Structure 1
């Protein structure tokens, strides 16, 4: 005789396993951290990667602040009855730091409440300093949202050009009110300028521009091709047009060009193409052959750049020849 209740038992076991997994703090969590003071404009893009076993918690707390990535090993406890996750003291960069290379750390403990619903599973709480330092190191409030197992890590997101915004001359994560989460995209932020582009444009202005040529062109759009000038020596460049990144960290080749089209404005000052040296190759300086082509002209310009100067070419719009 067949046991008709077997499929039901399987279903109940599956549901129990799914429910148990949903109730666990083990996993990957993302959130935006905001300092609990009204005058603060600095935010932290935060990540927990944690494992819980018998109430003991180990793992990582990673965060992105201003333009730096930081990682801490963490230990703590999780009480399944009170649903309280506690993280032992770790250093977190002080929100008022302007130079992260030698910034001051705040030593803070974490307390987060675990909540799970059909909509989302979250850890809600903060990192806070002890009573002596709490006025200097204000609490860092974070709402963590649990992510799928295959979600990219924070470090992977940064490497893959995550969407961040720039505010008050610093690179900041967007505030929580402007961030949403979905299973396939853990952090979708309402801003179209990626982090790598913001950093590249800031690096550009740290070097002066050397103008190599001013070229007369007749079209509204022209083609730009760049080759390694001479022997291939692994030169790598970025290209900017009017201060905006157009090509990012591409290697110059002797046979295959880096190619792009640019629009030409009637004001010459608005048509500046700049080559930024990402390295100096095996034979300094970083040198390229730039070919500029429109319907009536073809120019070849030898251009180079180093760690002090960028190479620049300016386009000037003129009437077409009859």
Structure 2
């Protein structure tokens, strides 16, 4: 009898959990137009009350971040979620001029023992079917418990542009990883004992870059440390589908700056792999990194020289 009661309790618990969309979700949205293009990194904080939901939605698009308060409907029986009138930046907009497409978000909740997903679409207004393509969306629930009430209450609509190349923009010191002056030899020695494997070399226009790291492929528990010019700037970070951001200033005394990935483990599927996105405010580079217990995957960054036009 106890065994049957335990099974019933587990089933009831899973069933109850599966009916709610309350939580913190993260994912991506892809353009449906001649193939897919991973253009938007999305996040969503929701709180459900009956069939009503409210929360905050945000997304990164190229060099900007937008967030806004949302309200919608959720049907626990069909697990169908709908949020209307969401302004999504047109995917062909540039950094100087953006155009919003007002879209409706429609998704269905799926739950497994491993994870929970909201899978659906940003649907365009039929009046703009020739200009604003639909977006496929996949959200994954963050299992970490965060106070949704606090996130929703303190949220405000915002539109932030990240332009480090502009002369009048000052990058605050606390936004830049602090390279410890008193780094000990014990911290650097394991890094120096491995070979440096140059994966790519890129040219940037800015004096600073934003670096975002994701696990590439299956989320298998990869743990990495990041070294910048052979000094540690990020220690033992678990890679996931949720990005980890670093803001790095280029060293003007060096012709080449190096970002290296140091594998702390090999995960469940060797080698240790990551997707590194480097953004200088004008251009975005997607780099597929790999490292293991013998080599450090490294990207070289050069500052683009200004073009000098001689007058004759």
Q: TM-score, normalised by structure 1?
A: 0.48
Q: Which has the larger radius of gyration?
A: 1
